[in-house]
Structure 1
Amino acid sequence: MSTLIQGGTVVPGTGDTVIANGVVVLRHGRVADVLTRWDPVQEFAGETIDAAGCVVMPGLINCHAHGVSPGPLFPSAAARLAEQAWMGNLDRHLLAGTTTVLNLCGFAGMDEVREADRRHAVHVRGATSHLPAALQAAQFADGRGLTARTRALTVERMIDDGAVAIGELGGGQTLGGGGQDLVYIPAAIEKLTGVRVEIGQARRLKEAVLGRFIDASAFDAEALDTAAYEAGLSGRLTMDELRTVIEDSVLPSFVPAITGIREGVLAASRLGVPAIVHSASATARILRDLMAETRGNGVQVIAAHVNHPSHSPAEALELAVLGRGNGWPAEASVFDLLHRRHTVTTRDHWDLLLGEPGLVSVLATDYGRDGEHDELIAAVQDVAAQGHRPLAGAVAMATSAVADLIPGIAPQSGRLQAGRAADVVVAGAEDFRDVRYVFVDGICVVREGKLTAEAHR
């Protein structure tokens, strides 16, 4: 099958080139050529796509995705998603121009990752967090998705079986972060009172009890009383009961999750694969310690979502700058801060860190509420539109930079260059979310904004 895509703004993903009215030729599942023009009298034996008014870029590579395989969900090993849900998450990625995802639900086995990869056009890659302390943290926080088989897996076996990274090390579910605010604290309160608190209310209750850094000595009785009133809990629980509910939900998994981060970084150093760590206010201390301990030993540690809103913007900047000085690349997650704004309602951290030249290496999504994160392609456009990077550089942050940072995630993708995999996106130039066409290995899997039959296998 051959395809000629012409007339659009071609952004090859190399970080330094944009070709106005460029041409991309696909043949036999590969990029055959990238040209500055196509002779109109030259015939083409295949489909021709008019990309006028569009950008043409490599398929995006998302290095921080959850809920994209049939395995346990999140670092808490929550109950496995139904097939319709994880396949639906992959559909949303594909319809938004993402052709490769790294599953950071690290308790999934590689057989489960391969099942998702086999059944969907999106390339699904696996990471592992099969570490003793991380497993203990998951069991304290949730663990419903674990089986005897997944409990028996190790990072060594997972890497041997094809996992390309260790991670996600830590998470909001096990470290008192957004996962607790969104799921576990509301569930615990509802079980006792029948009242389901919102994510912001849960966060205020948690911070009144444990502060932003998850420390029982930070308890603020007055703040808890105010937060309880705002959440409609006054008179339903005593303040001591409410404090106990919060502590019992958050604290059991916290220490083993911190230990699991250390175990994972040391394993990455030993095994020669990247580690992806949860960067948030609760992990700032352990990350600083590990930066000092691993300095100069060659371990590749990627700080996930350095723009996490549990930091103040100044704290986020300080930690990311320290990470850069210690050789830790930074990933900024779009969460849902651009459009949906269910879980993250500020873009202050995003703009501050991306505005610092060379501080953020790659872009990703994380999960959002029920998988409803903003699109990675929207993040690419925002970075360019805000002037944080030129268009060529913004595209590279979700394509070639990711492929280079994590060997094995997409070794043949990430750049529109002759001989590479024909993973290509054609999107409206005015709004990149208007994805018209997506090709995976040269096969059209999105046409005129809709999935084709080839999207599911």
Structure 2
Amino acid sequence: MSTLIQGGTVVAGSTVVENGALVLRDGRIADVLTRWDPASGFDGEVVDAAGCVVMPGLINCHTHGVTPGPLFPSGAPRLPEAAWMGNLDRHLLAGTTTVLNLCGFAGMDEVREADRRHAVHVRGATTHLPEALRAAYGADGRGLRERQRRLDVEWMLGEGAVAIGELGGGQTLGGGGQDLVYIPAAVEQRTGVRVRMDQARRMKEAVLGRFIDVSAYDVESLNGVANEAGLSGRIGTSELRKLIEDCVLPSFAPAIEGIREGVRAAARLGVPAIVHSASATARVMRELMAETRQGQPQVIAAHANHPSHTPAEALELAVLGRDHGWHAEASVFDLLYRQHTVTTREHWDLLLREPDLVSVLATDYGRDGDHDELIAAVHDVFTRGHRPLAGAVAMATSAVADLIPGIAPNSGSLHAGRVADVVVCDADDFRDVRYVFVDGVCVVREGNLTEEAHR
């Protein structure tokens, strides 16, 4: 089967070809051409890409909820099939052709099932470490089964996992996962009142501060938020404080130790580690940065633009990481359009303005998987002038493939002989994805999934 994509702006590595052409044949890129003469004819499908950008399929190194395995570092219950398949659909419709599942307690059989059943290439990571497992049970653990307790990172890597991560997370480290899910659920169970995410966060910070420290307790702030949330007369201040501590603290110390375990295992085993970056992990990250020698182990600071940092803290930590050979991932979260959970782009712009500070772009999960699209992040980085077109595209394609060996072998760039994972999107708004090809097969046509998207 052969396909000609012609007339678009082709991003081929560092080269941008205006009115270029791409030939796909037998699952590979057969040729990249500076022009195509229509008079020469073509034996196969011809896609008119006029007014479009043609780029490699995007590679997302930070996703959750894309397999039938346990969710998040907390080992939360697995999603129904329609939900995790739906998450993969959304990735594919937005031009992402490879995802790395960072729900690190999923087994490789669950990763392979998702990979087999969906056109998106699904890759796996692992957090099968004693302290990470203890942290999961401290926060939740309802999605874990006996076999999760028996697995270890060495076995998972031998089965095909490509990284250790995500080490820590908002569910186990008193972050957004607690604010969104666990604290509101605990308050509702006790009082019958469902507090909002922002109210849960402010109550948590009144009790434990931004750095999860019992000495940060501020009774006046806690009373103020409790009154605003309608909790007056339903629960006393001391009981509310204990309720929040009981949600957050059981998983916190083991999660911090799990980060140490994971980074040191990555150094021993020669694989990348992906660490949850947030105000609560800044101290342990600095500690581990000091242990890093000449970029070994290879560590990615996930969502270095996390809003629990102040912008200045995020910049300082990212610069320190770069100086010690760490790599920063900037997450789009939902900060560009949806803004359910992250309502500021200040951290994003500050880090991306710095040359060579952010290595790769990703999405994380957002509220119920409703994050902004990775391709929207690429478009924003380009149109805001943070990177030229080829550089912006590389942050979600070739740079990811280079940083995490095994995530997308022979993919991530449009060169002859490479895997034919290709996206055609509107040049004025990359979110308008017209066509997606995976292994040379059209899986999105005119913005809709084809039958080949599900296997």
TM-score normalized with structure 2 length: 0.99
Query: Contact conserved, 2:292 with 2:325, CA < 8 A, in 1?
Result: no
The residue that corresponds to 2:7 in the other structure is 7
Q: 1:5 to 1:59 in 2, by over 3 A?
A: same
Q: Which amino acid aligns with 1:70?
A: P
Q: State the alpha-carbon separation in 1 of the partners of residues 295 and 169 from structure 2.
A: 25
Query: Contact conserved, 1:73 with 1:81, CA < 8 A, in 2?
Result: yes
List per-residue Cα deviations over 1:130-172 (Å, max 9, x = no partner): 0000000000100011010121100000000000000000000
Structural mapping, 1:186-265, within 5 Å: 186-265=184-263
In the TM superposition, what is the alpha-carbon distance from 1:295 to its structure 2 partner? 2.7
Query: Contact conserved, 2:301 with 2:328, CA < 8 A, in 1?
Result: yes
1:164 aligns with 2:148: no
Q: State the alpha-carbon separation in 2 of the partners of residues 397 and 333 from structure 1.
A: 11
Q: State the alpha-carbon separation in 2 of the partners of residues 214 and 17 from structure 1.
A: 47
Pairing partner for 1:426 from 424, 427, 430? 424
In the TM superposition, what is the alpha-carbon distance from 1:296 to its structure 2 partner? 3.4
3-state SS in 2 of match to 1:401: helix
In the TM superposition, what is the alpha-carbon distance from 1:233 to its structure 2 partner? 1.3
The residue that corresponds to 2:275 in the other structure is 277
Q: Which amino acid aligns with 1:362?
A: V
Q: Which amino acid aligns with 2:96?
A: T
The residue that corresponds to 1:286 in the other structure is 284
Q: Which amino acid aligns with 2:2?
A: S
Structural mapping, 1:142-153, within 5 Å: 142-153=140-151
List per-residue Cα deviations over 1:220-250 (Å, max 9, x = no partner): 0111111111222122111101101110000
In the TM superposition, what is the alpha-carbon distance from 1:297 to its structure 2 partner? 6.7
Query: Contact conserved, 2:333 with 2:365, CA < 8 A, in 1?
Result: yes
Q: State the alpha-carbon separation in 2 of the partners of residues 255 and 51 from structure 1.
A: 53
The residue that corresponds to 1:138 in the other structure is 136
Q: State the alpha-carbon separation in 1 of the partners of residues 433 and 209 from structure 2.
A: 42
Query: Contact conserved, 1:214 with 1:282, CA < 8 A, in 2?
Result: yes
RMSD: 0.7
3-state SS in 1 of match to 2:38: coil
3-state SS in 2 of match to 1:370: helix
Query: Contact conserved, 1:329 with 1:360, CA < 8 A, in 2?
Result: yes
The residue that corresponds to 1:86 in the other structure is 84
The residue that corresponds to 1:179 in the other structure is 177
Q: Which amino acid aligns with 2:3?
A: T
List per-residue Cα deviations over 1:399-452 (Å, max 9, x = no partner): 000000000000111000000000000011111111000000000000010000
Query: Contact conserved, 2:295 with 2:326, CA < 8 A, in 1?
Result: no
The residue that corresponds to 1:445 in the other structure is 443
Q: Which amino acid aligns with 1:243?
A: R
Q: Which amino acid aligns with 1:277?
A: V
Q: Which amino acid aligns with 1:275?
A: A
The residue that corresponds to 1:102 in the other structure is 100
In the TM superposition, what is the alpha-carbon distance from 1:289 to its structure 2 partner? 0.2
3-state SS in 1 of match to 2:112: helix
The residue that corresponds to 1:336 in the other structure is 334
List per-residue Cα deviations over 1:179-218 (Å, max 9, x = no partner): 0000000000010011111111110000000000000000
Query: Contact conserved, 2:6 with 2:19, CA < 8 A, in 1?
Result: yes
Q: Which amino acid aligns with 2:100?
A: L
The residue that corresponds to 1:75 in the other structure is 73
TM-score normalized with structure 1 length: 0.99
Query: Contact conserved, 1:269 with 1:297, CA < 8 A, in 2?
Result: no
3-state SS in 2 of match to 1:389: coil
What residue ranges of structure 1 are gaps of 5+ in the alignment?
Answer: none
The residue that corresponds to 1:268 in the other structure is 266
The residue that corresponds to 1:371 in the other structure is 369
The residue that corresponds to 1:63 in the other structure is 61
3-state SS in 2 of match to 1:338: coil
Q: Which amino acid aligns with 1:128?
A: T
Query: Contact conserved, 1:69 with 1:112, CA < 8 A, in 2?
Result: yes
List per-residue Cα deviations over 1:35-67 (Å, max 9, x = no partner): 110122111000000001111000000000000
List per-residue Cα deviations over 1:1-46 (Å, max 9, x = no partner): 100001111112x2x2211111010000000011110122111000
3-state SS in 2 of match to 1:361: strand
Q: State the alpha-carbon separation in 1 of the partners of residues 282 and 225 from structure 2.
A: 26
Q: 1:297 to 1:382 in 2, by over 3 A?
A: closer
The residue that corresponds to 2:352 in the other structure is 354
Q: Which amino acid aligns with 2:408?
A: A
1:394 aligns with 2:392: yes
Q: State the alpha-carbon separation in 2 of the partners of residues 6 and 232 from structure 1.
A: 60
Q: Which amino acid aligns with 1:7?
A: G
List per-residue Cα deviations over 1:73-93 (Å, max 9, x = no partner): 000000000000000000000
Pairing partner for 1:317 from 315, 318, 322? 315
Q: State the alpha-carbon separation in 2 of the partners of residues 353 and 235 from structure 1.
A: 45
Query: Contact conserved, 1:331 with 1:361, CA < 8 A, in 2?
Result: yes
Q: State the alpha-carbon separation in 1 of the partners of residues 378 and 28 from structure 2.
A: 24
| Percent of aligned positions that are identical | 80
Q: State the alpha-carbon separation in 2 of the partners of residues 296 and 27 from structure 1.
A: 41
The residue that corresponds to 2:38 in the other structure is 40
3-state SS in 2 of match to 1:209: helix
Q: 1:297 to 1:6 in 2, by over 3 A?
A: closer
- Give the length in aligned residue pairs: 455
3-state SS in 2 of match to 1:377: helix
What residue ranges of structure 2 are gaps of 5+ in the alignment?
Answer: none
